[in-house]
Chain A
Amino acid sequence: MSTENKDDEILGKAYDSRLMKRLLGFVKPYKKYVFLAIFLNIVVAALGPFRPYLTKIAIDDYIFKQDFDGLFLITALLFGSLVFQSMIQYVLTYATQFLGQKTILDLRKKLFEHTQKLAVSFYDKTPIGRTVTRVTNDVESLNELFSSGIIMVFSDIFIILWILGFMFFIDWRLSLVTLSVLPLLIYGTFLFRKKVRETYRDVRLYLARLNSYMQEHVTGMHIVQLFGKEKEELKSFAKINGDHRDSNVRSIFYYAIFFPAVELISALAVALIVWYGGGEVIQSSISLGVLFAFIQYTEMFFRPIRDLSDKYNIMQTAMASSERIFKLLDDDTFIKNPDNPVPLNQVQGKVEFKDVSFSYNQEDYVLKNISFSINPGETVAIVGATGAGKTSIINILTRFYDIQKGTIKLDGHDIRQLDKRELRKKIAVVLQDVFLFFGTIRSNIGMNNPEITEEKIIESAKFVGADRFIQELPLKYDEPVKERGATLSVGQKQLISFARALSHNPQILILDEATSSVDTETEKMIQDAIEKLLKGRTAIVIAHRLSTIQKADKILVMHKGEIKESGTHQELLQQRGLYYRLYQLQYKDQEVVTPN
Chain B
Amino acid sequence: MKNLYTLKKYFIQYRSKIIAGLIFIFISNLASVYVPILIKDAINDLSSGINQKVLINYSLLIVGTTIFSGIFRYLIRQTIIVVSRLVEFDLRQDFWAHIQRLPLRFFQNNSTGNIMAHATNDISAVRMFVGPAIMYAIDTGTRFLIVVTIMMMISWKVTLISLIPLPFLSYLVYYIGKKIHVRFTKIQEKFSDLTTKAQENFSGIRVIKSYVAEEREINEFMGLSREYLQRNMNLVKLQALFQPILFLITGMSIILAIWFGGIEVINKSLKLGDITALVLYLGILIWPMIAFGWVVNIIQQAEASMKRLNKIFHEKYEIDDSDLTEHNVKSIKGDIEFRNVSFRFEENLPWVLKDVNLKIRSGETLAMMGRTGSGKTAFINLIPRFYDVTEGEVLIDGKNVKSIPLNVLRRSMGVVPQEAFLFSDSIMNNISYGSGPVSREAAEEKSRIAQFHKDVESFPKGYETIVGERGITLSGGQKQRAALTRALMTEPSILILDDSFSAVDTHTEEEILKGLKEYMKERTSILVSHRVSTVKDADKIIVIDKGRIAEEGTHEELLRLDGIYADIYSKQLLEEEIEQI
Binding site for B on A (CB under 8 A): 1-2, 5, 51, 55, 58-59, 62-63, 66-68, 71-72, 75, 78-79, 82-83, 85-87, 89-90, 93-94, 97-98, 101-102, 105, 108-109, 112-113, 115-117, 120, 123, 128-129, 131-132, 135-136, 140, 211-212, 214-230, 233-234, 237-238, 241-242, 244-245, 248-249, 252-253, 255-257, 259-261, 263-264, 267-268, 270-272, 274-275, 278-279, 281-282, 288, 291-292, 295-296, 299, 385, 398, 400, 421, 424-425, 427-429, 431, 435, 437-438, 447-449, 500, 504, 559, 578, 581-582, 584-585
CB pair B212 A421 closer than 8 Å: yes
CB distance from B466 to the nearest CB of A (A): 9
CB pair A234 B46 closer than 8 Å: no
Enumerate the 10 nearest inter-chain pairs by beta-carbon distance, A residue then B residue, closest first: A260-B70, A86-B244, A256-B77, A267-B66, A93-B240, A271-B59, A227-B434, A275-B59, A82-B251, A116-B214
12 sampled A-B residue pairs with Cβ under 8 A = A79-B251, A85-B247, A101-B236, A214-B96, A217-B423, A221-B104, A225-B104, A267-B63, A270-B39, A428-B210, A431-B207, A449-B211
Q: Which residue of A lies closest to B256 (CB)?
A: A75
CB pair A75 B255 closer than 8 Å: yes
CB pair A98 B276 closer than 8 Å: no
In whole angstroms, what is the CA distance A5 to B59 when docked? 55
CB pair B255 A78 closer than 8 Å: yes
Interface residues of B in 136-195 (CB under 8 A from A): 191, 194-195
CB pair A274 B262 closer than 8 Å: no
Q: Which residue of A lies closest to B222 (CB)?
A: A109
In whole angstroms, what is the CA distance A288 to B255 when docked? 18
- Judged by DSSP, the binding face of B is helix
Return the CB mask of B465-484 against A: 1 if under 8 Å, else 0: 00011111100000000000
In whole angstroms, what is the CA distance A264 to B72 when docked? 13
In whole angstroms, what is the CA distance A421 to B81 when docked? 61
User: Which of A216, A238, A261, A431 is within 8 Å of B93, CB to CB?
Assistant: A238
In whole angstroms, what is the CA distance A272 to B472 when docked? 63
B415: which A residues are within 8 A, CB to CB? 226
CB pair B86 A245 closer than 8 Å: yes
A109: which B residues are within 8 A, CB to CB? 218, 222, 225
CB pair B63 A268 closer than 8 Å: yes
CB pair B258 A55 closer than 8 Å: yes
B577 within 8 A of A: yes
CB distance from B254 to the nearest CB of A (A): 8
B217 within 8 A of A: yes
CB pair A448 B213 closer than 8 Å: yes
Pick out which of these stretches binds chain A: B332-340, B394-402, B403-411, B532-540: B403-411
CB pair B247 A63 closer than 8 Å: no
User: Which of B96, B195, B272 is within 8 Å of A288, CB to CB?
Assistant: B272
User: Which of A97, A224, A385, A585 is within 8 Å of B100, CB to CB?
Assistant: A224
A257: which B residues are within 8 A, CB to CB? 74
Apart from the given pairs A86-B248, A226-B434, 8 other A-B contacts in the complex at a CB distance below 8 Å: A71-B259, A90-B244, A115-B201, A223-B421, A234-B96, A252-B85, A275-B56, A278-B46
CB pair B67 A5 closer than 8 Å: no
Q: Which residue of A lies closest to B436 (CB)?
A: A232
In whole angstroms, what is the CA distance A222 to B99 when docked? 12
B516 within 8 A of A: no
The interface size bin for chain B is: 35 or more
A83: which B residues are within 8 A, CB to CB? 248
Count how many pairs of residues, one from A and one from B, have CB atoms less than 8 Å apart in the complex: 345
In whole angstroms, what is the CA distance A385 to B296 when docked? 66
CB pair B82 A252 closer than 8 Å: yes
Interface residues of B in 549-581 (CB under 8 A from A): 571, 574-575, 577-578, 581
CB distance from B98 to the nearest CB of A (A): 10
CB pair B225 A220 closer than 8 Å: no
B198 within 8 A of A: yes
CB pair A220 B423 closer than 8 Å: yes
CB pair B258 A75 closer than 8 Å: yes
Pick out which of these stretches binds chain A: B112-120, B350-358, B451-459: B112-120
CB pair A435 B207 closer than 8 Å: yes
CB pair A438 B410 closer than 8 Å: no
In whole angstroms, what is the CA distance A582 to B575 when docked? 8
In whole angstroms, what is the CA distance A223 to B93 when docked? 20
User: Which of B85, B225, B386, B490 is within 8 Å of A222, CB to CB?
Assistant: B386
Q: Which residue of A lies closest to B226 (CB)?
A: A105
Which of B207, B220, B233 is packed against the most chain A CB atoms within 10 Å? Answer: B207
CB pair B410 A226 closer than 8 Å: yes
Q: Which residue of B lies closest to A428 (CB)?
A: B210
Q: Which residue of B lies closest to A500 (CB)?
A: B211
Pick out which of these stretches binds chain A: B47-55, B501-509, B521-529: B47-55
User: Which of B73, B248, B406, B578 is within 8 Å of A578, CB to CB?
Assistant: B578
CB pair B97 A101 closer than 8 Å: no
**With contact pairs A78-B255, A263-B70 given, residues A112 and B410 touching in the complex (Cβ less than 8 Å):** no
Q: Which residue of A lies closest to B280 (CB)?
A: A295
CB pair B262 A282 closer than 8 Å: no
B279: which A residues are within 8 A, CB to CB? 296
Q: Which residue of B lies closest to A501 (CB)?
A: B211
CB distance from A586 to the nearest CB of B (A): 8
Return the CB mask of B284-311 against A: 1 if under 8 Å, else 0: 0000000000000000000000000000
User: Which of B104, B112, B211 is within 8 Å of A504, CB to CB?
Assistant: B211
Q: Which residue of A lies closest to B57 (CB)?
A: A275
CB pair A228 B411 closer than 8 Å: yes
In whole angstroms, what is the CA distance A449 to B214 when docked? 11
CB distance from B557 to the nearest CB of A (A): 24
CB pair A237 B433 closer than 8 Å: no
A224: which B residues are within 8 A, CB to CB? 100
Q: Which residue of A lies closest to B261 (CB)?
A: A63
User: Which of B78, B93, B245, B384 is within 8 Å of A237, CB to CB?
Assistant: B93
B101: which A residues are within 8 A, CB to CB? 230
B23 within 8 A of A: no
A102: which B residues are within 8 A, CB to CB? 229
In whole angstroms, what is the CA distance A75 to B256 when docked? 8
In whole angstroms, what is the CA distance A582 to B272 when docked? 105
CB pair B203 A435 closer than 8 Å: yes
Interface residues of B in 215-234 (CB under 8 A from A): 216-218, 220-222, 225-226, 229, 232-233
In whole angstroms, what is the CA distance A217 to B92 when docked? 14
CB distance from B468 to the nearest CB of A (A): 8
CB pair B39 A66 closer than 8 Å: no
Q: Which residue of A lies closest to B578 (CB)?
A: A581
A129: which B residues are within 8 A, CB to CB? 199
B519 within 8 A of A: no
B322 within 8 A of A: no
In whole angstroms, what is the CA distance A124 to B557 when docked? 47
CB pair A229 B55 closer than 8 Å: no
CB pair A274 B89 closer than 8 Å: no
In whole angstroms, what is the CA distance A113 to B82 when docked? 48
CB distance from A399 to the nearest CB of B (A): 9
Q: Which residue of B lies closest to A278 (CB)?
A: B55
B8 within 8 A of A: no
Q: Which residue of A lies closest to B62 (CB)?
A: A271
B71: which A residues are within 8 A, CB to CB? 260
In whole angstroms, what is the CA distance A82 to B243 when docked? 12
User: Which of A115, A116, A385 is within 8 Å of B578, CB to CB?
Assistant: A385
B239: which A residues are within 8 A, CB to CB? 93, 97
User: Which of B51, B73, B266 is within 8 Å of A282, CB to CB?
Assistant: B51
A214: which B residues are within 8 A, CB to CB? 96, 115-116, 119-120
**With contact pairs A5-B469, A116-B214 given, residues A225 and B255 touching in the complex (Cβ less than 8 Å):** no
B213: which A residues are within 8 A, CB to CB? 447-449
B11 within 8 A of A: no
CB pair A112 B198 closer than 8 Å: yes
User: Which of A72, A234, A241, A500 is within 8 Å of B89, CB to CB?
Assistant: A241
In whole angstroms, what is the CA distance A90 to B243 when docked? 8
In whole angstroms, what is the CA distance A50 to B446 when docked? 81
CB pair A581 B62 closer than 8 Å: no
**With contact pairs A101-B232, A112-B218, A221-B100 given, residues A72 and B259 touching in the complex (Cβ less than 8 Å):** yes
Q: Which residue of A lies closest to B471 (CB)?
A: A2
CB pair B233 A98 closer than 8 Å: yes
